[in-house]
Chains A and B, each alone.
Chain A
Amino acid sequence: MRTAPLPLLLLPPLAACFGAFGPGGSPAAAPAPASAEALAVQYREFLDQGRTAALAVRHAADRAPGFRRIDPLTDEPRASPGDRLLFIDRGHTAVFVAVGKKKLAERGARLIASHVDTPAPRLDTSHLTRENQTRLTAHRYGGIKTYHWLHRPLAAVGQVSVRGGRVVDVDLADVWFWSEELTPSGDLAVTTSSTPTADTAGSPATTFVGELHRRYGLTAPDLIAAELYLVPREPAREVGLDRSLIGAHGQDDRANSFVAWRAALDIAAPPEHTAVVWLLDREEVGSGGPTGAESRFLELVFAWLLRAEGGPASEAALHRALAATVALSADTPACLEANWPEVHEMSAAPRLGRGPAMFPFTGRGGKVGGSAAHAELMASVMASFRRTGAAIQTGELGKVDEGGGGTIAREFAQRGIDVVDIGVCVASLHSPLELTAKSDLWAAYRGFRAWLAE
């Protein structure tokens, strides 16, 4: 029930990937990037295609030639070292696995977890009427500043589960909505049209639901079960006169998701340890639910892998495998910014262009709510980056008592997994135009790839 019919509907092109092994085995294959510029081009495509968590998961799955799609509910556990496997849950989260030479049961996995959801306004379409469809409410998904979303053209993109259960992708990429004020509850009031909602002598009514009906056959009751986000109209752009940055919405945390995913694709030989990259949903709203970091979907995948290597998948075996696993929680800290330097401690602020920042602690105040990483893990990550020559820096989320934030590190620590936070830092974090340095993405990609394979 969990993954069976839904992902197949969501991922029709995936069938083409079954049985396709090795780079170049699929028309969707993109070669391993050989430079920061080549990586940045692929990254911008990933951002433009993956504007919601579900779309990012689909893009990642479609462009993963050689990864065998596994349904852990029905597929017989069977895999050998070097196999590449892909597990998708509910179309919103995906686990990419390269089976290692060493047994998962004994030596655990090398895991990079990163989230593909991102803060954005989410349209409320649950009680549409002919009259109110011209002006919708958009709630806040994650920590957004509402003023960022006013006075700019916004596109609506997402999914609707229509009556009967079919999932319809909605992408009104050529239609712009607009918000110039907030509702009394502090949400966005979004204008979808301004002409009459009934036919006039001038023209037939053109309305939000009318347009969704014309394009997708949807009606108001269908739109009760919908996940529609508002995103800026602009695609990912190069920023800066020297083009050193990528500017786009959604880089927290599709930046690290992308480099981790790309690193998993480009592991050349069977890795020592089983390499796992988990693309997650719902981080920005607390990591709950079946597709967030708290989800036991990871345990389902691990149990399947344990059985696939011939051992038992008992509770004890699972706990041993998890305890032997080390993880990178790849998430985005905020970079030092010239306009707001005082929110950072200068000696500990991540800088644009100095590689991904590793931060052993997160949380607020005295590291409350964070997961303080062990020195051994810090050292092993530093060593991997050093060996590859990829830049790396350390940092913290911001000055103590200025605020703070959390990552998914704690969800792994609670499983007994040794974990540390590391990620490409983002300027203008949680805004519609987040900024990352191309050189940081390149360093993270090389470092992650080396660490996964060792």
Chain B
Amino acid sequence: MCYALLPPTRLRPKRGPGTVRGVNGRAWLPLFALAALAPSCGAGVPGEAGSSSRGASGGGTRKSKTADSQAGLFPEAKAGWRHIDRATRARIDELARDYVDFLGRAKTPRRAVAALVAMYKAAGGSALGDSLAAGQRAFWIAPGGDAALLVIGGRGGASAGVRAVVAAVDGPRIDLKQVPLYQHDTATMLETSLYGTLALESWLARPLALYVRVARGGKGGGGSEIVVGEAPGDPVLAIPDVPIHLRRKVQAKEPVADPERMDAYAGASLAAVRAVLRRRGLREADLTEAEAYLVPAGPAALIGVDRAMVAGYGQSRLGLAYLATRALGAAAPDQATLAVILVSKSQIEGAGSTGVGFVGRALSRALSALGGELDVLASRRAHARTALLVAAIGKGEANGGLVLTPEGDDALPGALRRAVDRLDRVHVPVQIGEGESRAAVDLGSLDLDAVAVSLPVKSQGAPLELCSALDLHYGLTGLASWFAP
């Protein structure tokens, strides 16, 4: 019945770049509001009634007249730089600079976790022991080092549940195969395989850094890491492309039809390369058991004469991981336990021990540390009172705010509403975009609310991805509100 209030045309995709659907997402929100709150149906949406200022992503909507019976039915978001005052702009610039610095230190999942845990330590976090007191900040790094729980004990004990953000820290990359070195004519090459879904051609002909993690002496033994390509003066690696003069047949359909053509140049001769590896403390045989990654070399960068966008590696994952950690670091204790759960394997939807499966273990660890060994009833009650924002990969417009993907996560309207209201409270604009979030759906089956949320990151899957500093600000503000009482 209430659906009749929405003129059918509003459901059509708005004109906008790319494949983003329903960019002017605010038009959608009353739909959920009205569906969820049937009694107030037709009474208008409280909060922003009468607002007529145009959002940056809104397109040419006429100003409503006061006499218009439709007035207030379609309040528009105040998204965009024009709504940002001088002091906020300065804060955004500081945020962007710190984030750029972080991205440069987070090129592998382990490094990202280490950098984020260090941030949380600086905010008062300490290693999680057997118990967690109300208001205590603690962290637990998973075995393997590429997943972690950051937590603030809730004043309401375990039974108050957890309000958390789940975010991945693994970017797309190119891995070395187990026996990577081979000689091809006058060149020595590194055999590679792909990790994640990559826009292959954009990885060609650009400087790459090599991260090799060797764990000698078995599990938990003193591992070591060798990095080539990041320090000034270090050599870099590169995957060459076929010259345009000779590409007619081999690139007739697409630039890289066969991913086996992504091998990287390692050096002139095998002997020379082995000698270099030895000097860096690495035997060729070590590569067989190592984690060896190729990622774009060099720091992240601020883009544009206005320096208002960030180009950096892995942002479609690392962006929300960073923002959530910062927000948690600044959060005050609440009734519910607050947490950020960092996971890996997101690029491959993988079943690794530090993938999405880690979330359940992290929640259990937090709850039992807080409430002692819980019986099943207590544990299930705590889970049922738990709500997660799950960082996802949604498509949205730059400077348009956080992206929600209700079609992708299939969250219940009530859960979505609670998330949206927290964003509304701090005037963070929301856009409805396309995106799949298998993780949110899977986590929901722990009997908790899981809503997928994304930053509108561009150039996804490329070695460097792009995110607006304004959207980082929206993200930080929104996640801070998620953690607020």
Quote the shortest CB–CB distance from B217 to chain A (angstroms).
25
Any A CB within 8 A of the CB of B298: yes
| A153 pairs with B301, CB closer than 8 A | yes
Contact of B240 among A144, A203, A207, A435 (CB under 8 A): A435
Q: Which of B261-286 contact A (CB under 8 A)?
A: 261-263, 265-269, 272-273, 275-277
Which size bracket describes the interface of A in this complex?
35 or more
Whether B235 lies near A241 (C-beta < 8 A) is yes
A176 to B311, CA, bound (A): 9
Given contacts A148-B205, A200-B84, contact A339 B239 (CB under 8 A): yes
Contact A403 B245 (CB under 8 A): yes
Could you list 26 examples of A-B contacts with CB < 8 Å?
A145-B241, A145-B244, A150-B462, A152-B463, A175-B305, A180-B459, A192-B305, A193-B305, A194-B304, A195-B304, A202-B88, A206-B307, A211-B305, A233-B301, A234-B298, A240-B265, A240-B273, A338-B187, A339-B262, A340-B246, A343-B249, A351-B186, A353-B186, A402-B246, A428-B240, A434-B205
> Which residues of the other chain, B, contact A207 by a CB distance below 8 angstroms?
305-306
| B interface footprint on A392-408 (CB within 8 Å = 1, 0 otherwise) | 00000111001111000
Measured CB to CB, the closest approach of chain A to B313, in angstroms, equals 11
A47 to chain B, nearest CB (A): 14
Instruction: Indicate if A160 sits at the interface (CB-CB under 8 A).
Output: no
A397 surroundings in chain B (CB, below 8 A): 245-246
Q: Which residues of B contact A433 (CB under 8 A)?
A: 205-207, 238
Is A18 on the interface with B (CB-CB < 8 A)?
no
A342 at the interface (CB under 8 A from B): yes
Interface of chain A residues 265 through 304 with chain B (CB within 8 A): none
Indicate with 1 or 0, residue by residue over A175-216, a CB within 8 angstroms of chain B CB atoms: 111101000000000011111100011110011101100000
Q: Which residues of chain B are near A172, meaning CB under 8 Å? A: 305
Q: Does B70 contact A (CB under 8 A)?
A: no
Classify the interface of chain A: helix, strand, loop or mixed.
loop
CB-based nearest A residue for B236: A237
Q: Quick check: which of A20-28, A85-93, A102-110, A242-250 contacts chain B, the rest being far away?
A: A242-250
Q: Which residues of B contact A2 (CB under 8 A)?
A: none
Task: Kindly report which residue of chain B lies nearest to residue A243, judged by CB atoms.
Answer: B235
Q: List residues of chain B with CB under 8 Å of any chain A CB.
A: 80-82, 84-86, 88-89, 184-187, 189, 199, 201-202, 204-207, 210, 228, 235-250, 255, 261-263, 265-269, 272-273, 275-277, 298, 301-309, 311, 398-399, 458-459, 462-466, 468
Do B240 and A427 touch (CB < 8 A)? yes
Nearest opposing residue in chain A for B273, CB measure: A241
Told that A153-B303, A195-B308, A241-B237 touch, could you supply 10 new A-B pairs with CB distance under 8 A?
A152-B311, A180-B458, A180-B462, A241-B228, A241-B266, A242-B273, A343-B249, A352-B268, A403-B248, A427-B265
Collect the chain A residues with CB atoms within 8 Å of residue B80's CB.
196
Q: Is A151 an interface residue (CB 8 A)?
A: yes
B272 closest partner in A (C-beta) = A242
**Shortest beta-carbon distance from B181 to chain A in Å:** 10
* A66 close to B (CB within 8 Å): no
Q: In the complex, are the beta carbons of B261 and A340 less than 8 A apart?
A: yes
A334 in contact (CB, < 8 A): yes
Q: What's the least CB distance linking B267 to chain A, in Å?
A: 4
Q: In the complex the two chains form, is A203's CB within 8 Å of B89's CB?
A: yes
CA of A405 to CA of B242, assembled, Å: 14
Which of A's residues lie within 8 Å of B, judged by CB? 143-145, 147-148, 150-153, 172, 175-178, 180, 191-196, 200-203, 206-208, 210-211, 232-234, 237-245, 247, 334, 336-344, 351-354, 397-399, 402-405, 427-435, 437, 439
A432: chain B residues at CB < 8 Å are 205-206
Closest Cβ neighbor of B256 among chain A residues: A339
Give the shortest distance, in Å, between A142 (CB) and chain B (any CB): 9
Residue of A nearest to B279 (CB): A241
Decide: A178 and B207 in contact? CB cutoff 8 A: no
CB distance B267 to A177 under 8 Å? no
Please give me the 8 A-B residue pairs with the lowest Cβ-Cβ distance, nearest first.
A151-B462, A431-B205, A428-B240, A338-B184, A429-B243, A242-B267, A206-B306, A343-B246
Q: How far is the CA of A140 from the CA of B187 in the complex (A)?
A: 31
How far, in angstroms, from A68 to B201 measured CA to CA in the complex? 47
Residue of A nearest to B463 (CB): A151
Is the Cβ of A431 less than 8 Å from the Cβ of B207?
no
Given A200-B84, A245-B265, residue A152 in contact with residue B206 (CB < 8 A): yes
Most chain-A Cβ atoms within 10 A of its Cβ — which of B84, B242, B273, B311? B242
Q: How far is the CB of A148 from chain B (nearest CB, A)?
A: 6
